[in-house]
Amino acid sequence: MIRLLISNSRKGDIGLIGLAVMGQNLILNMADHGFTVVAFNRSVEKVHNFLANEAKGKSIIGAESIQDLVSKLKSPRRVMMLVKAGEAVDNFIGQLVPHLEAGDIIIDGGNSEYQDSERRTKELAVKNIRFVGAGVSGGEEGARYGPSLMPGGNKEAWPFIKDIFQSISAKADGQPCCDWVGNDGAGHFVKMVHNGIEYGDMQLIGEVYHLMSAIGVDQDEMADTFEQWNKGELDSFLIEITRDILRYKDNDGKHLLPKIRDTAGQKGTGKWTAISALNYGVPVTLIGEAVFSRCLSALKSEREIASKRLPGPTSKFGGDKKKFLDDLKQALYAAKIVSYAQGFMLLREAAKVHNWELDYGAIALMWRGGCIIRSVFLGEIKKAFDKDPNLSSLLLDPFFLNAITKAQSGWRNVVSTAVNIGIPTPALATALAFYDGYRLERLPANLLQAQRDYFGAHTYELLGQEGKFVHTNWTGKGGNVSASTYDA
């Protein structure tokens, strides 16, 4: 067997476990910024191949075991894992701990559930090991040339990893797209919300693409439209790559996109965001619809049968195509604002529950470069929270209020047109429904409360007498005893 060569005096600044593409690229990024990295993979042959090829000539050391990895690190030892979330993370932690000392640091850079990071932070603190759950966004290219990094967990670890993380992260206006997020599971919670917003953005763009097809816009014209949009307020990574995907042609000279099966996969972070929104009682409706839309897409065989049996509207689009494309742009922009507004509402509520001191402007800055949802208006989000750190909703900030006011007419036309011609727009429509619900002083929840009190004696509050819960004997037969839990 080829042995891994290393000078006895050479020690690594950080170790990294997991040599899939993301892991390799992150190691190369660290090495490019002057750090010595110790690389380990469960399959040692993969370590050998990496050192002989991509890592050749760089400040990268190989390790053949967990013990070997730890022995080659400077103190305090810093070990980062990029492995599958869940059991694999706990297994590697279990292998690492016997070889570590008090003050050493374990970093989980995978897409772990924030509750797991919360648990691991506490469990390892008892053993005097500092745990960091770090969200890493940007895909393969981001890992190689500058990701967005969202570290949280044991804050005592931050001074020892700050230089590495901020050096390798993406930069926006010269500032690193990385800062300490908060304690326990805060880093992975922020990454989870980031991924939820990503689900929403992708669904919105998919609905716009669907509507473009429905009104007879060909792919080349779609690509040109997205290119124009990417020069203005919709400037973003996802708009940019959508343009490229629309233009891409297969070996036969035909566009590749129509050949791709219309069933979308998911790895769970969007679902976790929707579940968290329900748990915290925050109406993150757009992300929820984006998750359910992927679930609906998976019912391909059922949809094929239903398409032959279920009738739809007979109306066809007969409007001005150019004007409708302008309306689509406004609808996409307005719904995107709602998506981010909902995401930050969820962050705020979770911060209250967990006593996290989240800096929302800093989070927006972290997302401005290197990550999948990077877009030009994240700078405006940062400005909004810099002006008012206690802002309850982005919709109330003057910049976004003005933007959504201008976009409203086109947005409503797009949703109503989609309904009339039978094209589903769950994300565009639910964003509008949320906006309309949020802007109304009165909603029909008074009837819901009356219904709940009628059948379950759950009580209600009267206007002007908030905090006083009363029950009505609606039928004259129900009695005057009420339920003890208003929220049941």
The percent of residues above 70 in pLDDT, for the chain, comes to 96
Q: Which amino acid is at 33?
A: H
Nearest 10 degrees: CA dihedral of 33, 34, 35, 40?
Answer: 80
DSSP code at position 4:
P
379 is in an annotated binding site: no
Question: Beta-carbon neighbour count of residue 76 at 10 Å?
Answer: 17
346 is in an annotated binding site: no
pLDDT in the model for residue 488: 60
Burial of 64 (0-12, 13-18, 19+ CB in 10 A): middle
Report the run of H or E that residue 60 belongs to, with start and end.
strand 60-62
446 is in an annotated binding site: no
Active site residues: 191, 198
312 is in an annotated binding site: no
Q: Which amino acid is at 424?
A: P
Q: Is residue 102 within 8 Å of residue 48, measured between CB atoms?
A: no
pLDDT in the model for residue 6: 41
Question: Beta-carbon neighbour count of residue 41 at 10 Å?
Answer: 22
Instruction: Show the low-confidence residues of the chain (pLDDT under 50).
Output: 1-8
pLDDT in the model for residue 269: 79
Instruction: Give CA–CA dist 257/212, Å, rounded.
Output: 14
What does DSSP say about strands 148-153 and 130-137: parallel, antiparallel, or unpaired?
antiparallel
pLDDT in the model for residue 480: 72
pLDDT in the model for residue 32: 97
Condensed to tens digits (0 to 9), the pLDDT of residues 229-280 reads 999 999 999 999 999 999 999 999 999 999 999 998 776 778 899 999 999 9
Condensed to tens digits (0 to 9), the pLDDT of residues 292-349 reads 999 999 999 999 999 999 999 999 999 999 999 999 999 999 999 999 999 999 999 9
pLDDT in the model for residue 268: 73
458 is in an annotated binding site: yes
Q: Is residue 66 within 8 Å of residue 99, measured between CB atoms?
A: yes
pLDDT in the model for residue 327: 98
473 is in an annotated binding site: no
Question: Beta-carbon neighbour count of residue 383 at 10 Å?
Answer: 15
pLDDT in the model for residue 477: 82
452 is in an annotated binding site: yes
Tokens representing 297 are 């897409």
25 is in an annotated binding site: no
pLDDT in the model for residue 91: 96
pLDDT in the model for residue 5: 42
